[in-house]
Each structure stands twice: as structure tokens, then as C-alpha cells.
Amino acid sequence: MDFPEVVKEVQEIGATISDSRSSPMNYQDAHGIKIIDQERNVRKYTTINECVINENLCRAPITKHIKNRSKAKDGRTFTTF
């Protein structure tokens, strides 16, 4: 199937539609990860691996909360600095 006019039209439509996905976070550029718990205690870690070990969470939930700017079920907030 060779329909160059259809391909061109689809490409033009695709260029105008945002997929709303954010680009992957490069944690090498961040200075560290800051956690604020429900009691407003602040903890800072220099690497995500250090955060995983000390906060007893897997890497995926931490990165998800950072990306979505959401709180964990226990009220912890994860951000980069």
C-alpha cells in the first residue's frame, strides 16, 4: 500500500496532537531526593539508591511520586533538589 498523501496528512495531524507524556527524569542532573513526611520531617538523600534503602520503598514508586508530584499512601512527599 502506497498512499503518500494519506501518510503526509497523518503526520501533520500527529504533529499537532500532544501525547502528554513527560520525558524521563534524568536523576544524574538532580542533586538529590528530598522527602517530607506527615510530621514535616525532612530527609535528604544524595542518590535514589540511598533513598530506596533508607525509605524501604522500591525505585518505581519513588520515581512515580516524583514524576506525578503525588504523595505516598503514608503521606510522604518525594521531590528532587
Which tens digits make up the pLDDT trace of 35-54?
999 999 999 999 888 999 99
| DSSP-derived secondary structure for 25-39 | P-TTSSS-EEEE-TT
Q: Which residue has the higher pLDDT, 32 or 10?
A: 32
- Give the right CATH number for 29-81 from 2.60.450.10, 3.30.300.30, 1.10.1040.10, 1.10.10.10: 1.10.10.10
Q: Which residue has the higher pLDDT, 77 or 4?
A: 77
Task: Say yes or no to pLDDT of 18 above 80.
Answer: no
Compute the chain's Rg from CA coordinates: 19
pTM score of the predicted model: 0.63
- Domain residue ranges of the chain, discontinuous segments joined by +: 29-81
